[in-house]
Amino acid sequence: MTEITFHGGVNDIGGNKFLVESNGTKIFMDFGMSFSQEGQFFSQFLGARTSNSLNDLFELGILPKINGLYRRDYAKHMGFGGNEETEIDAVLLTHAHVDHCAYIPYLREDIPIYCSEESKLIMQNFDETGTDQYLTAKQRFQIYENNKGEISRAKGDKVAVPRTIKTFQSGKKFNIDSIEVQPLPVDHSIPGVHAFILHTANGSIGNTADLRFHGRRKNDTENFVQECAQSDLDVLLCEGTRVNAPSSITEYDVEERISDIVRDTKNLAICGYPVRDLDRLLSFYIAAKNTNRDLVIDMKQAYLLKLFDASDNLRGKYPSPTDKNIKIYIQRGSWGLIDKDIDVFSQKQLYEDYSSWQREFLDYPNAVDYRDIAKNQNQYIFFCSDFRLQDLIDVKPSEGSTYIRSLTEPFNTEMEIKEDQVKNWMVHFGIINRDQDWHQIHVSGHGDGEQIKYVVENTNAKSLIPIHTVNDEYHKKWHKNVKTVNQHGTHQL
Ligand SMILES: [Zn+2]
């Protein structure tokens, strides 16, 4: 018998957690966070309590209550077992967007995670430039006897348990126990996205992951559709984030429009885009080259480019962090010593202004700070995230500067408030007028209605389950055998 239980990702955009069970093999496809579920109960200042996180999330139906699934330190501390063997053979990750991967840090350390090398590096970037624990579970709630013979709490990462991360190669089949997995790259808005075809004893299952045809890797998505058609799929789990949307421009159009705006910009061109969308970074990088400017990125992006550049498989796909058209912006550190008298403080103090992962960039030949940007405004495209708008106070954009917003438009009130705030900053610096909009140039990572219709009609699956959507009526129009499943519901092959 083969069955799929949907612990998230149905009647919802994101939060994918699909448990496939076949002949005793158990695999999760993705283990993501649902923004809508979390948003029902939590906000910035109200979240699951660290000391009781599993139980808090079980209570609210956000995480499935499955023994042996969660990390031992949490399970033991929260009274949910922890000594048992796990029955889960693997987690197969489509990509490193949080709605597909954010709950991985809760998982048992010995459950192997299968993912692309790109996904692994993006998770490594999350861990090393922040406080996430994708690749290593730093054990919490540990006590030890100190040298006075007292029982003490172990601080920080005294015991760090590395997870087993198995990177697969695009197109190359592999087995997890009784299930054969075929990972196929698809076009989406982060590197390394893979759709899957699972071959089980009772039939085959396709999972589109998130996909589109209007990015830089259209042919990958087309190839996935062809592979599905040849695989005689029993069921296709098909995304439908934007099934109700009309067709849009392409990533190449984005690149061109950015170039046009920057060409007409007298002073500083400022931009905001999703930090991990390296195809979008590439669009701005190409626009910078087209207009004889340099693209100024932040240290988190520099770190990600460094990780990609260090990989034999990925080097050259994206600019290296020392590329001649890339500059790395050194923001003010914790004491803001970057422009203070170094004879008073010392070079050592300056380094201590930054986290250890940031320090090396201070010595890069292409490092710049606000003084360089302020002086030579017409030579740069300056990346400024929504979370670092204060940098504009240092950079002081002159008259004739522009802002290009290359992010998704707000789709809830929280995002509207955030966007309004960004607008206030731009008005403050005279970059836009109150009644005049900025340049919004963006394409989604998800296919529009026509594209998803094409996927539905050309994959030739015997049945179809809509995932990652709240509009399943479109799939029903396009396929005669659509099954709808509720959260925690099961579909048998
Ligand atoms: Zn995604």
Residue-by-residue DSSP string for 439-489: EE----SS--HHHHHHHHHHS--SEEEEESBS-THHHHHH-S-B----TT-
Dist. CA 187 → ligand 1 center (Å): 10
Condensed to tens digits (0 to 9), the pLDDT of residues 213-242 reads 999 999 999 999 999 999 999 999 999 999
- Same domain membership, residue 176 and residue 40: yes
pLDDT on residue 334: 94
Dist. CA 210 → ligand 1 center (Å): 5
pLDDT on residue 437: 74
Instruction: Quickly state the pLDDT bin for 157 (edges 50, 70, 90).
Output: low
Dist. CA 241 → ligand 1 center (Å): 10
- Same domain membership, residue 203 and residue 187: yes
CB atoms within 10 A of CB 315: 11
Dist. CA 445 → ligand 1 center (Å): 7
Dist. CA 214 → ligand 1 center (Å): 15
- Same domain membership, residue 468 and residue 378: no
CA dist., res. 450 & res. 201, Å (int): 33
Dist. CA 293 → ligand 1 center (Å): 31
- Same domain membership, residue 167 and residue 23: yes
| Residues whose CB is less than 8 angstroms from the CB of residue 140 and which lie 6 or more positions away in sequence, other chains included | 50, 73, 74, 77
- Same domain membership, residue 280 and residue 217: no
CA dist., res. 6 & res. 488, Å (int): 5
Condensed to tens digits (0 to 9), the pLDDT of residues 395-444 reads 999 999 999 999 988 888 888 889 999 999 999 999 998 777 789 999 99
| Residues whose CB is less than 8 angstroms from the CB of residue 387 and which lie 6 or more positions away in sequence, other chains included | none
Pairing of strands 439-440, 402-405: parallel
Rounded to an integer, the average pLDDT of 343-363 is: 93
Crossing angle of the two packed helices 278-290 and 299-309, in degrees rounded to 10: 100
Sign of CA dihedral 356, 53, 105, 207: negative
Cα angle 415-417-419, degrees, rounded to a multiple of 5: 65
- Same domain membership, residue 117 and residue 102: yes
Dist. CA 240 → ligand 1 center (Å): 12
- Same domain membership, residue 291 and residue 239: no
The owner of tokens 């062809």 is 226
| Residues whose CB is less than 8 angstroms from the CB of residue 299 and which lie 6 or more positions away in sequence, other chains included | 129, 328, 329, 330, 331, 357, 358, 361
- Same domain membership, residue 260 and residue 239: no
- Same domain membership, residue 228 and residue 266: no
Dist. CA 36 → ligand 1 center (Å): 15
Condensed to tens digits (0 to 9), the pLDDT of residues 370-403 reads 999 999 999 999 999 999 999 999 999 999 999 9
We report the CATH number of the domain holding residue 170 as: 3.60.15.10
pLDDT on residue 146: 85
**Would you say residue 155 has pLDDT above 80?**
no
- Same domain membership, residue 453 and residue 392: no
- Same domain membership, residue 268 and residue 216: no
pLDDT on residue 154: 83
pLDDT on residue 123: 98
The helix (run of H) or strand (run of E) holding residue 126 is helix 117-129
Sign of CA dihedral 59, 63, 67, 70: negative
Total number of domains constituting the chain: 2
Dist. CA 483 → ligand 1 center (Å): 23
CA dist., res. 81 & res. 145, Å (int): 24
Rounded to an integer, the average pLDDT of 47-68 is: 95
CA dist., res. 283 & res. 486, Å (int): 39
The owner of tokens 């040298």 is 147
Dist. CA 14 → ligand 1 center (Å): 8
State the residue range of the domain holding 433. Answer: 251-440
Identity of the amino acid at 33: M
Q: Which of 189 and 156 is assigned the larger pLDDT?
A: 189
Dist. CA 237 → ligand 1 center (Å): 15
Per-residue 3-state assignment (H helix, E strand, C coil) for 369-428: CHHHHHHCHHHEEEECCCCCCCHHHHHCCCCCCEEEECCCCCCCHHHHHHHHHHHHHHHH
Are the C-beta atoms of residues 195 and 181 closer than 8 Å to each other?
A: no
We report the CATH number of the domain holding residue 350 as: 3.40.50.10710
Are the C-beta atoms of residues 180 and 168 closer than 8 Å to each other?
A: no
Are the C-beta atoms of residues 291 and 284 closer than 8 Å to each other?
A: no
- Last residue of a domain, which of 440, 463, 483? 440
- The mean of the pLDDT values for the chain is 95
- Same domain membership, residue 137 and residue 36: yes
| Residues whose CB is less than 8 angstroms from the CB of residue 28 and which lie 6 or more positions away in sequence, other chains included | 17, 18, 19, 20, 88, 90, 91, 92
pLDDT on residue 147: 87
